[in-house]
Amino acid sequence: MQIGLASDHGGFDLKEELKAYLKSMGHDPVDLGTFNEDSVDYPDYGALVAERVSKGDLERGVLICGTGIGMSVVANKFRGVRAALVNDLFSARFSREHTDSNILVMGGRIVGRALAREILRVWLETPFAGDRHQRRLEKIKALEKKNFK
């Protein structure tokens, strides 16, 4: 699976941890930055992943900033992106089962490394449930069509 990663300076350490974890799971993550802890603007990096997910160049993405809030806002500005801010296992599972989230967002200053790895594993392994949830996704797509002209 093609998975893109990006962070700002507040999420850099956790991004590096999750990149190594993805490699250990057999994935070949695409690191779109940032590449150090120097201060950067999270919209620049969130957009890099979200745009590629939106276009279908990446199947999924992982974004990390200090709280995850900024990256979530940025990513959800792109058509077809369903970015979920997840800081616990329950939300990781349900963000996939119910909303078929394609970008996982975490707060690098909120989620510890061990929990972040487990959240990522659950998020990657949980399939979309479809059925009534597909009907709801169709409504989201209709809103995108109406609002993203």
How far is C-alpha 44 from the geometric centre of its chain's CA atoms? 15
Asked if 22 and 29 touch (Cβ cutoff 8 Å), the reply is yes
Marked catalytic residue, from 9, 27, 65, 133: 65
Structure tokens at 72: 């979530």
> In angstroms, rounded to a whole number, what is the distance separating the alpha carbons of residues 144 and 37?
35
* Residue 98: φ, ψ to 5°: -100, -35
Instruction: Give CA–CA dist 117/56, Å, rounded.
Output: 25
Tell me, yes or no, if 65 is annotated catalytic: yes
Phi-psi region of 39 (alpha: psi -120 to 50; beta: other; left: phi over 0): beta
Q: Can 98 be counted among the known catalytic residues?
A: yes
Active site residue: 9, 27, 98, 133, which one? Answer: 98
* Contact in structure between 103 and 50 (CB atoms under 8 Å): yes
Q: Please list the active-site residues.
A: 65, 98
